[in-house]
Chain A
Amino acid sequence: MNDLGTDLLKTPLYDLHVEAGGKMVPFAGYAMPVQYPLGIMKEHVFCRESAGLFDVSHMGQCTIRSTDGSDPAAVIEQLMPGALKVLKPGKMRYTLLLNDTGGIEDDLMVTRTFEPDGMLYVVVNAAFKDKDYKILEEKLGDRIALEPLEDRALVALQGPKAGEILASLAPEASELNFMEATMITLEGVVCWVSRSGYTGEDGFEISIPADEAPDFCKRLLAFGGVEWIGLGARDSLRLEAGLCLSGHDFNGDISPVEADVTFALGKKRRESGDFIGSKRILNELAGGPSKIRVGIKPIGRTPAREGTVIADRNGKEIGLVTSGGFGPTVGGPVAMGFVPTIFAEKDTEIQLIIRGKAHPAKVAATPFVKQNYKRKSAS
């Protein structure tokens, strides 16, 4: 049943997934585990209570240098609105790859490495890595050298026990704060480790040479309190955490203001407007967008999936759900979608049209569950 054909790519951890009973499905051109025998619900809860191990090797890892030895961040800032030039070695930032009209082609993580030339380590979404690399090549190709890291796996260890588990392999892991990264030798293997993730929990993302990845994961799984988590629970975890899924909660037509990810717009960058599509984005920042992404809490038990029509109290269609499902930690359905800005206030009563029937819902604050990041202490 796990034979999905020969067209699909396999991550370096494919055999481990099959061994663990992972149900393999096609995702972004890869055969990926959607769930393991534990099931999505239990995997989700396990990650929130202990530590979940995710194979995210399908994501696009690459390095970016400038061709003339100058700061590569200064070059890519043309296409991204985040404060990247100011990134010090070991610091990472969530940013957006924009198009000419200020729409979001993809979201990505940019980290400054410790290389003397200021080399950046970049991770983009699996589904868009080819597109993203092409955009960067076409628009900046003469000024940057982008090198995909094809020989590396990427795994995430997420959850309240992730810190103590990784620290038992390498004490320096505990020195990392949220959105910091460094080189750490884990089990004799040099890894690029960041304190980041896509679950709302504390945790790490670990870039490791492909041939070392299976043994490293086996070692992690040998700890009590670590389980494989599949794509199904990865989606419900990020949805509860209020995190966007690129291509669903935004796309090339949606601006950062509409997607309500303005935290990704650097303060000084807003003033200078020195990035692609800034005219629309700055206009929307000043005058407010006509529609905006909001959290949605259905009142009943019926999950509202992506594509569900959102209506006002009178039944008039006002928008669409872009992500939705059941939140195991919330214990009920949760969703996100776009509504006209006048409907965006918390607790605004709306309706969700599911299979022809109107179900009451309210606009809700996100995240739906508290984020548990390990931030630098305020002292």
Chain B
Amino acid sequence: MMKYSEDHEWILVEGNTATVGITDYAQKALGDVVFVEVPEVGAAYAKGDEVAVVESVKAASEVYAPITGDIIMVNEALEGAPDLVNTAPTSDGYFFKMTIADASELEELLDEDGYLAFIAGLE
């Protein structure tokens, strides 16, 4: 199940695990990504906490935890190839995987249609 936040993150829900990255819309808006600061495995975040930073040639942008949970894996490949965020934002360019502490928080996220409508409203 794919969910989206209004901060332009995608959240792939598989069982009790959520994989998180930024959307194609977000990577296009950021431009060329040159560095991603990922969180540490084991760290706990509440929904809305600053969890990662993505640096483009232009500027640094914060990435917020879309849900509450613990980091169980980070995308090590981004260290050597931050441009994966541009070339494969919703697959190899993911940021991290986290546990889902409170499944009810998923209800507050957007589904694909909801997200597409949301970004259409930003144009």
Chain A positions near chain B (C-beta within 8 angstroms): 1, 34-35, 39-42, 44, 232, 236, 301-303, 305, 325-326, 328, 333, 355
- Taking a contact as CB atoms closer than 8 A, the residue among A236, A301, A302, A355 that contacts B57 in the complex is A236
Pair B35/A232 contact, Cβ less than 8 Å: no
* Total count of chain B residues near the partner, CB < 8 A: 15
CA distance A62 to B93 in the complex (A): 49
Are A302 and B31 in contact, with the CB atoms below 8 A?
no
With A301-B79, A302-B37 given, is the CB distance from A35 to B59 under 8 Å? Answer: no
Separation of A339 and B53 alpha carbons in the complex (Å):
27
Most interface-central of B56, B58, B79 (chain A CB within 10 A):
B58
Whether the pair B53, A39 counts as a contact (CB closer than 8 A) is: no
How far does the alpha carbon of A157 sit from the alpha carbon of B55 in the complex, in Å?
29
A-B contact pairs, 14 of them (CB 8 A): A1-B123, A39-B31, A40-B56, A41-B31, A41-B34, A44-B57, A301-B35, A301-B82, A302-B55, A325-B57, A326-B55, A326-B57, A333-B35, A355-B53
The one of A1, A35, A305, A333 that contacts B31, using a Cβ cutoff of 8 Å: A35
**Interchain CB contact under 8 A, B34 and A232:** no
Cα–Cα distance between A303 and B57 once the two chains are bound (Å)? 9
Q: Is A34 touching B34 in the complex (CB atoms < 8 A)?
A: no
Known A-B contacts A301-B34, A303-B35; the reply to A232 vs B79 at CB < 8 A is: no
Cβ of A326 and Cβ of B31 under 8 Å apart?
Answer: no
Which chain B residues border A232 with CB–CB below 8 Å?
31, 57-58
Question: Contacts A40-B31, A232-B31, A326-B34 hold; do A305 and B57 have CB atoms under 8 A apart?
Answer: no
* Chain B residues closer than 8 Å to A44, beta-carbon distance: 57
Task: Please report the C-alpha to C-alpha distance between residue A36 and residue B47 in the assembled complex, in whole angstroms.
Answer: 35
